[in-house]
Structure 1
Amino acid sequence: MTRKTLIAAAALLCAFGASAQTSINLGNYELSGNYTLATLGGLGLEASAVTYARDRGTLFFVGDEGPGVVEISLTGQALGSMAFNWAGTGSSNNDAEGLTYLGNGQLVVVDERPQIAYQFAYTAGGTVTLANQPRASVGSTAGNVGNVGTEGISFDARDGSFFSVKQDNPLELRGGGLTFSTSGGTSSMTTLFSGAQSLFGVNSFSDIQTLSPVDALVGTAAADNLLILSLDSRRLIEVTRSGQVLSSFDLSGVTTQAIEGVTIDEKGTIYLVAENAGTGSPNSRLFVLNTVAAVPEPESYALMLAGLGVIGWMARRRKVLPKAQPAVTSAGTGARSCG
């Protein structure tokens, strides 16, 4: 191969090599979008959790005063909403802090203080009476734990398991199964890690997201990793299920608003929501993080490798052309260091 061809091959290996198999590497991400979320008469205020719906190509978010759930585009445009009726739940604050999407319009929302998760079907323009919905407890203790309870929940569609995080006193990362029932449901979730004042180098937990939805990570160790958001530390971290911190993203320069929710789509794009309360801003916001060099989808990776083979063949063919014949040339591409 020519020197330019070798450089191009090296660049591909750097971008899509072995490191992508064990970590999503948050150090390769940068802010790519910043969008205002409509207030919607209060439904869009104090955004505290967000989840991606792959079969709809949209996002859902809730506010921590619990008025309802809002569906938005990937750039923050409101597409619809559904109100929550908390009557009969016994909730003292209607504190919706955790949200995850199960598929086929089914969502799970978590009330922070009693740490109860409710499963419901989304209907745009409708109202859901949560007391009548299947539910299950996600906490390690029963009863109201105050304003330091469950802040996030994430569903792993590969095996139907859930992961949740408790905010503080103590911080907890929990995982396991949930069976939802209108009579109360059951939980096999256990506390995987706990810290009195800090854990994984951060001082609070605000949300959690599994990396299993990312297509480029399917079948790799990285698909088992978790994203954990910390409001107090203003940091997003990637951890393994054994508790090893692999990478992190500093959120302190993104906004002065409180970022409380995180989710990810099949392309590896990360979405964050920030509430408006206490910041002087009239609106919650959606922030988007993308890799500097996007993670390839599996079929794209195969095409790139096939393309390298064609380039190599052309380079070898060029060597045997008679000098009198013009050689086929192509523009070279720059290469980045694997660094």
Structure 2
Amino acid sequence: MPPALRKPTVLALIVMAGAAAALSAVLSPPALVGGGLLARGYVADIDRAPIHEVADNLSGLTYSDATGTLFSVTNRPPQVVELTPDGQLVTLIPLDGYLDPEGITHVAGEVFLIADEGDQSLHRVTINAGTRRLAAAPDTRVATGIGAWRNMGIEGISWDARHGRLFLAQEMLPMRALILEGFDSAARLTSAAPQVSEWYPASLSSLETLDLSSLTLHEATGHLLLLSHLSSAVVEYDQTDRLIGRMGLGGGQSGLAAGIGQAEGLAVGPDGSIFVVAEPNLFYRFRMGSPLP
């Protein structure tokens, strides 16, 4: 493929190739079982709020119950971005030695994992109130062994504390969610390399999502939420991998005045609030219309 054919062109080709499947989804979408988070009628109460201290490339999102704050990353420059639950900046932490950080997940306490799409690796880091910079180190780097074309690799990461494993989202070519196992409760490897398997229910296809830009595991229910910026949607799967919910992110949907152009990060708070960040530097919060039982 010639060098001039960059990601926007590839995305256009993917969209064109998936047009027939998308039309099929409109005419005969997969049945929703219901009963999950997204059945609670989410509405945006913070819509398209800019994070002025961040210029561009906001990506990935996770909620830390240790601090009550959210963490995201940017890749140019590489840094961690800490935010309050209403989208106000807490701090910026420069990242040294990272190629293309695209995702971050909270593990426990002060421990996080950062996904670097540049070499499809993970970095185990400690972040606390005294952290001013973070440097990539060989002894805390985990090679995933995931092959990916250009920047079509790891876009989302979420820690599953109950089972001591990771969920990863690969954007496309192929679009898939992966499970990485072989960690202890603090996300340290217990073997030479993680064991990688594919999480791929039949309904995870272009009928539901044209790409995967992020994902998050809701620990309280064990449900997996997937974000697709090309499809402008969040979809929800239960513990038996059944599709049970969908939240639209287009203009006029879910209380949004305009559609979210490039949603890149997804997290759920302890009260069930859903947070989304989007390029270049936009923050969204969705509140559920009816509480969880």
Q: TM-score, normalised by structure 1?
A: 0.67
Q: Which residue of 2 aligns with 1:313?
A: none
The answer on 1:77 being equivalent to 2:88 is yes
SS at match of 2:37: coil
Runs of at least 5 residues in structure 2 that lack an aligned partner in the other structure: 1-32
Match of 1:207 among 211, 214, 218: 214
Structure 1 residue 225, shift from structure 2 partner? 1.5
Match of 1:126 among 120, 127, 132: 132
Q: Which residue of 2 aligns with 1:266?
A: 270
Structure 1 residue 172, shift from structure 2 partner? 1.2
Structure 1 residue 71, shift from structure 2 partner? 1.0
Structure 1 residue 104, shift from structure 2 partner? 1.5
- What is the alpha-carbon distance in structure 2 between the residues aligned to residue 46 and residue 259 of structure 1? 11
SS at match of 1:25: helix
SS at match of 2:270: coil
Say whether the 8 Å CA contact 2:95–2:133 is kept in structure 1: yes
- What is the alpha-carbon distance in structure 1 between the residues aligned to residue 240 and residue 197 of structure 2? 14
Q: Which residue of 1 aligns with 2:3?
A: none
Amino acid at match of 1:78: L
SS at match of 1:69: strand
- What is the alpha-carbon distance in structure 1 between the residues aligned to residue 140 and residue 168 of structure 2? 18
Q: TM-score, normalised by structure 2?
A: 0.76
Say whether the 8 Å CA contact 1:113–1:145 is kept in structure 2: no
Say whether the 8 Å CA contact 1:136–1:181 is kept in structure 2: no
> Aligned-pair RMSD on alpha carbons?
2.6
For residues 225-260 of structure 1, what are the alpha-carbon distances to aligned partners after superposition, in whole Å with 9 as ceiling and x for unaligned?
A: 200000111110001354421110110123343111
- What is the alpha-carbon distance in structure 2 between the residues aligned to residue 268 and residue 27 of structure 1? 10
Q: Which residue of 2 aligns with 1:288?
A: 285
Amino acid at match of 1:208: L
Structure 1 residue 199, shift from structure 2 partner? 4.6
- What does 1:49-68 align with in structure 2 at a 5 Å threshold? 49-65=60-76, 67-68=78-79
The answer on 1:96 being equivalent to 2:94 is no
Q: Which residue of 2 aligns with 1:234?
A: 232
The structure-2 alpha-carbon separation of the partners of 1:287 and 1:157, relative to structure 1 and needing over 3 Å to count, comes to same
- What does 1:129-168 align with in structure 2 at a 5 Å threshold? 129-132=135-138, 134-141=140-147, 145-168=149-172
Amino acid at match of 1:46: N
Match of 2:195 among 184, 188, 204: 188
Match of 2:53 among 12, 21, 39: 39
Structure 1 residue 176, shift from structure 2 partner? 3.3
For residues 150-201 of structure 1, what are the alpha-carbon distances to aligned partners after superposition, in whole Å with 9 as ceiling and x for unaligned?
A: 100101112221111100011111113244679x952122112289x94562
Amino acid at match of 2:88: Q
Q: Which residue of 1 aligns with 2:122?
A: 117
Give the fraction of aligned pairs with identical amino acids, expressed as a percent: 22
Structure 1 residue 39, shift from structure 2 partner? 2.2
More helix by share: 1
Q: Which is greater in Rg?
A: 1
Say whether the 8 Å CA contact 1:120–1:133 is kept in structure 2: no
For residues 52-110 of structure 1, what are the alpha-carbon distances to aligned partners after superposition, in whole Å with 9 as ceiling and x for unaligned?
A: 00111100111143521011111111111211001xx6xxxx22111101122211111
- What is the alpha-carbon distance in structure 1 between the residues aligned to residue 67 and residue 46 of structure 2? 20
- What is the alpha-carbon distance in structure 2 between the residues aligned to residue 194 and residue 169 of structure 1? 17
Amino acid at match of 2:197: T
Runs of at least 5 residues in structure 1 that lack an aligned partner in the other structure: 1-18, 215-222, 277-283, 297-339
- What is the alpha-carbon distance in structure 2 between the residues aligned to residue 139 and residue 153 of structure 1? 15
SS at match of 2:137: helix
- What does 1:3-14 align with in structure 2 at a 5 Å threshold? none
Runs (4+) of structure 1 moved beyond 2 Å? 137-141, 178-182, 197-200, 240-244, 254-257
